[in-house]
Amino acid sequence: MLTEYEKWHFDLLGYIVLKGAVPQEDVKRMVELCDTWHALPDSELRPPLQSYRDPETHPTLPRSINNAHYGDEVFQRLALNREIMRCVLALTGNSPQLLAVSLTRNTKASDDVGFHGGFSGGLRNPANDYQAADGQVLATFLNAAVSLVDVPIGAGFVCVPGSHKSHFPKPPDIDIYSDPPAVVNVTPKAGDVVLFTEALCHGARPWPLDDPRRTVFVRYSTSYASWSPGIGPIEEHRDKLSDDLCELLQVAGFQHRKQVVTKLLAEFGEESG
């Protein structure tokens, strides 16, 4: 279901930008929730919402609140967003698993995020597989970075384009502040999605504006190659999720076709066999 241009772009660079993929009314709602939740300490967040790192002990780390899909149905819609899922299905061979939905806030006081993924540190994570053959593209670990604000040039997401296929470590003098063509700065608008393979070497430059950068990171893997511990619905909070999202969160065998996938393929007019 990827266009030929999208296949070419993703294979060449390791990412694609889905412009206007998220409705503006949903963007507005997520911004409201972002500002409400990030104004609270972790102790006052409604479980299972929790920070990746407690802002009390990591005050300059960009704060990321995990399990956002349990907090409001707008994040459930986002995880099943049709434009995102069109690409995720194609890139996982119709075998997707939802891993996480995280609501992140960067301010002028937040640290930058150095390069990771790819051959960062000289080693490639074996869970981040990438292949292209027979007119198809396969990525076992995907990240949909959903921007809730307009990102100015020189800030936010940066990557080493094509590094998802590199067989050599990144030179030590190449960092997030390097210029093209070695490093590319992608600047989405509110409602745009930067969909990339986690095998891509990527990071984030500091945020220069008074109004915070707000981003939702929705991570997917192939359902048969899940590697993170604790994957699947959180049982004591399962009732907060739709049946489709619960199934999307589950591990499945290589030959198993999830019902939610069959429904999506039917919506897209694709064969479900």
- What is the predicted pLDDT for the residue at 107? 97
Could you give the 3-state DSSP secondary structure of residue 251? coil
Burial status of residue 85 (CB atoms within 10 A of its CB: 0-12, 13-18, 19 or more): buried
- What is the predicted pLDDT for the residue at 228? 57
- What is the predicted pLDDT for the residue at 258? 96
Residue with tokens 């990030």: 38
- What is the predicted pLDDT for the residue at 253? 83
- What is the predicted pLDDT for the residue at 1? 87
What is the enclosing helix (H) or strand (E) of 243? Answer: helix 243-248
Cis peptide before 181 (omega within 30 of 0): yes
**What residue type is 263 in one-letter code?**
K
The answer for residues whose C-beta is within 8 angstroms of residue 27's C-beta and 6 or more apart is 148, 190, 191
The answer for residues whose C-beta is within 8 angstroms of residue 46's C-beta and 6 or more apart is 71
- What is the predicted pLDDT for the residue at 272? 56
- What is the predicted pLDDT for the residue at 240? 96
| 18 closest CA partner among 145, 105, 181, 128 | 145
Mean pLDDT rounded to a whole number for the chain:
93
- What is the predicted pLDDT for the residue at 123? 52
Question: 140 near 92, Cβ under 8 Å?
Answer: yes
Question: 217 near 106, Cβ under 8 Å?
Answer: no
What 21-24 contacts at long range (C-beta under 8 Å, 24+ apart), as own/partner pairs, is 21/81, 21/83, 21/84, 21/146, 21/191, 21/192, 21/193, 22/78, 22/81, 22/146, 22/191, 22/192, 22/193, 23/191, 24/190, 24/191
How do residues 90-134 score in pLDDT, each as one tens digit?
999 999 999 999 999 999 999 999 999 876 544 555 557 899 999
| pLDDT per residue rounded down to tens, the chain (273 residues) | 899 999 999 999 999 999 999 999 999 999 999 999 999 999 999 999 999 988 888 989 999 999 999 999 999 999 999 999 999 999 999 999 999 999 999 999 999 999 998 765 445 555 578 999 999 999 999 999 999 999 999 999 999 999 999 888 889 999 999 999 999 999 999 999 999 999 999 999 999 999 999 999 999 999 987 555 557 899 999 999 999 999 999 998 878 899 999 999 999 998 655
Distance CA 178, CA 78 (A): 32
- What is the predicted pLDDT for the residue at 169? 86
Structural domains of the chain, with CATH: 4-267 (2.60.120.620)
CA-CA distances (angstroms) from residue 244 to 58, 81, 227?
35, 12, 21
The answer for residues whose C-beta is within 8 angstroms of residue 179's C-beta and 6 or more apart is none
| 52 closest CA partner among 165, 172, 219, 251 | 219
β-pairing verdict for 113-116 and 202-205:
antiparallel
